[in-house]
Amino acid sequence: MGLLEQLQQDLKEAMRSKEEPRLTTIRSLRAALKNEEVTKRAQERTKVQRQLAQERGVNVDAITADELPQGEPLTDAEMLQVVQREVKKRQDAAETFRKVGREDAAAAEEAEISVLKGYLPQQMSVEELRPLIQGVVQEVGATSKADLKKVMPVVMARFKDRAEGRVLNQLVQEALS
């Protein structure tokens, strides 16, 4: 079952059980996914519109909407990025609320985070990541912190869906020191 279908099913369950925080979180995630999809399609259409105008030697306004593709829906990877971005927003908000002494609002953000994390793949622990990152460091041939720029792209490509970027960066720095 895809993420959108899972969200639709969970939305119905939350409505039936009257779980307001969960319901609100799922609705906001669906809205964020829809916004991302609209943005992606608009960017694709603009790109095609410019290409067609350039090929035909006409103004961009001369290209009609009928001539443009509808665009592709979000891929699973893009949807996961949106979910991760929403989690990050709420983590930042919870941290900000705690700084100003609003524990009630921070707790609400934490509740939303727990709902959102249910749609992310299982995160790897630091203990699981350490040997894998050490292997990448050896594979790349990095020896000092100056090689961080060589190691991080490889590490992010392999583990970005299964660990937070901050954690990965910290572990790479530890491995290089």
Which two tokens mark 59?
């103004």
Instruction: Summarize the confidence of residues 85-100 as an average pLDDT.
Output: 93
pLDDT classification of 126: cutoffs 50, 70, 90:
confident
Q: At a CB cut-off of 8 Å and minimum separation 6, what does 9 contact?
A: 1
What share of the chain has pLDDT > 70, as a percent? Answer: 99
Look at 158 and 88; give whichever has higher pLDDT. 88
Give CA 175 to chain center in angstroms. 26
- Residue 100 has a pLDDT of 92
How far are the Cα atoms of 129, 159, 164, 176 from residue 140, in angstroms, in the given order?
16, 16, 21, 12
Burial 63-99 (b: 16+ CB within 10 A, else e): beeeebeeeeebeeeebbebbbebbebbbebbeebee
Q: Which domains does the chain have, with CATH numbers?
A: 3-117 (1.10.1510.10), 126-176 (1.10.10)
Which two tokens mark 171?
């572990």
- Residue 1 has a pLDDT of 62
pLDDT classification of 32: cutoffs 50, 70, 90:
very high
Query: What 3-state DSSP class applies to 163?
Result: coil
pLDDT classification of 113: cutoffs 50, 70, 90:
very high
Look at 48 and 96; give whichever has higher pLDDT. 96
Instruction: Summarize the confidence of residues 90-109 as an average pLDDT.
Output: 92
Least confident of 1-10, 27-36, 105-114, 154-163: 154-163
Q: Is residue 8 predicted with pLDDT exceeding 80? A: yes
